[in-house]
Structure 1
Amino acid sequence: MAEQLRTLADDRALLGRTSTAERVSDILRSRIADGYFPPGARLPEDDIGGALGVSRNTLREAFRLLTHERLLVHELNRGVFVRVLAVEDVEDIYRTRRLVECAVVRGLGRPPYALDGLAAAVEQGRRAADQGDWKDLGTANIHFHRELVALAGSERTDELMRSVFAELRLAFHVVDDPQRLHEPYFTRNRQLLRALEAGDLDGAERMLAVYLDDSLEKVVEVYRRRVGEEG
């Protein structure tokens, strides 16, 4: 927890002088999505509020917002914890991803597309794979799909998928085999980028649908076993 608190202290500059619960929730959501707070982790009010320099009421409102997004749970007399997903949650996350991400690709229209963000995520993944940094490769994979969704140019879609991707990261933590989980999809991300660069939307959508179906099957297989072991 000490490392996580130091990181949050670095995030205080993002709050500015008029910090709000929404800004605090944005920071915590990002940190959950980037893997700083794993499923089941308790989030101590005093420590996190002190690291961010916010009041207890502001932090509690941020916790409430993230509980509404299904990222946190409040346990009576115990505190606030990062949520541990059920298998059904994981399946629903992938259904949502397939609906949204494939629709984004299908609706892109005529090229050229603003693919710099996708290209940067692929490069981040390449560096992580070369260094054997599987956690960072997972982060790069999430960034790739965020950038893919951003191609829709829709703030509502971005907001919806921010919490979906944060939930997805919770599932990845339980699977806890980042090399097996993410390494094959780095190559697929690069292939998707090439298809979009070529303006092949039909090919990109088919590739993405298979990609997500394969990922769902792999994640659920391991997740079901791990949750069963812990139960």
Structure 2
Amino acid sequence: MATEELNALADDRALLGRTSTAERVADILRTRIAEGFFPPGTRLSEDSIGSALGVSRNTLREAFRLLTHERLLEHRLNKGVFVRVLSIDDVEDIYRTRRMIECSVVRSLGQPPFALDRVAAAVEGGQRAAKARDWKGVSTANIHFHRELVALAGSERTDELMRSVLAELRLAFHVVDDPRRLHEPYLARNAQIVRTLADGHRDEAETLLADYLDDSRDGLVEAYGQRVAREA
């Protein structure tokens, strides 16, 4: 791992406070993996990360175990712990799960008006990032859009499941060569879904979302497959 990555982790050490726990370490590493600090295929050094965060080997191993359970890390026999590299089957399964969760949430919304402020704010964040040509920022805003959409269900369990699914999905995003092509087309579709919900048309919004997810899956599978094929 590069010095820059370890310095960033050292900065995160303050987040642990005096009551350092494996869950908090896992939160930090999950965020860093989602941000691309540790790309897919990266070997995570117990000594380096433990030293940077100031935590024991046992605490770090428990954090690794939690993230392995979330399918963000994998143990390779006699080699260590690595950030997972997704397969095409993984990507397709993630989208099947997303379709079940997100479409179900929209379908189960009560009567309008819906509380769309945070969803709309995510759309605006993506638009600002696009104007700045910050395609990583666009990706992050799109993730926030879907998390806030699911949050309309008001279920902590569903929120937690969605967070895990989207964190795993970002492993694929970090491998794609052209993030602008992958993410920019969906800014307008995000806005369209918000407008449709604001007008009270829940069923139409669900149809738009289902088509959106199918198209997003197909585009990611194509882009991801091309990259994996070149590296095979």
1:1-231 aligned within 5 A: 1-231=2-232
TM-score with structure 2 length normalisation?
0.94
Q: SS state of the match for residue 75, structure 2? A: strand
Question: Residues 178-212 of structure 1, C-alpha deviation per residue, up to 9 Å, x if partnerless?
Answer: 00000001111111111222221111101100000
Report the residue type matching 1:193 in the other structure.
Answer: V
Q: Is the 8 A contact 1:29 1:163 kept in 2?
A: no
In 2, Cα distance between the equivalents of 1:42 and 1:136? 26
In 1, Cα distance between the equivalents of 2:198 and 2:16? 37
Q: Is the 8 A contact 2:177 2:227 kept in 1?
A: no
Taking a change above 3 Å as real, the CA distance of residues 39 and 202 of structure 1, as seen in their structure-2 partners, is: same
Question: Residues 120-145 of structure 1, C-alpha deviation per residue, up to 9 Å, x if partnerless?
Answer: 21121111100111111111111111
Structure 1 gaps, min length 5: none
In 2, Cα distance between the equivalents of 1:108 and 1:12? 40
Residue correspondences, number: 231
- Distance apart, 1:229 and its partner CA: 1.6
Q: Is the 8 A contact 2:95 2:213 kept in 1?
A: yes
- Distance apart, 1:3 and its partner CA: 2.8
Taking a change above 3 Å as real, the CA distance of residues 34 and 147 of structure 1, as seen in their structure-2 partners, is: farther
In 2, Cα distance between the equivalents of 1:24 and 1:114? 33
After superposing on structure 2, the runs of 4+ consecutive aligned residues of structure 1 that deviate more than 4 Å are none
- Distance apart, 1:114 and its partner CA: 2.5
Taking a change above 3 Å as real, the CA distance of residues 11 and 103 of structure 1, as seen in their structure-2 partners, is: same
Question: Residues 38-90 of structure 1, C-alpha deviation per residue, up to 9 Å, x if partnerless?
Answer: 11112111222222222111111000111111110112332211000110000
Report the residue type matching 2:99 in the other structure.
Answer: R
Taking a change above 3 Å as real, the CA distance of residues 80 and 180 of structure 1, as seen in their structure-2 partners, is: same
TM-score with structure 1 length normalisation?
0.94
In 1, Cα distance between the equivalents of 2:43 and 2:159? 27
In 1, Cα distance between the equivalents of 2:64 and 2:52? 15
- Distance apart, 1:161 and its partner CA: 1.4
Q: Is the 8 A contact 1:102 1:205 kept in 2?
A: yes
- Distance apart, 1:163 and its partner CA: 1.4
Structure 2 gaps, min length 5: none
Report the residue type matching 2:59 in the other structure.
Answer: T
Report the residue type matching 1:50 in the other structure.
Answer: S
Percent identity reads 74
In 2, Cα distance between the equivalents of 1:13 and 1:117? 29
Report the residue type matching 2:79 in the other structure.
Answer: R
- Please, what is the CA RMSD of the aligned residues? 1.4
Report the residue type matching 1:62 in the other structure.
Answer: A
Q: SS state of the match for residue 175, structure 1? A: coil
Q: SS state of the match for residue 111, structure 1? A: coil
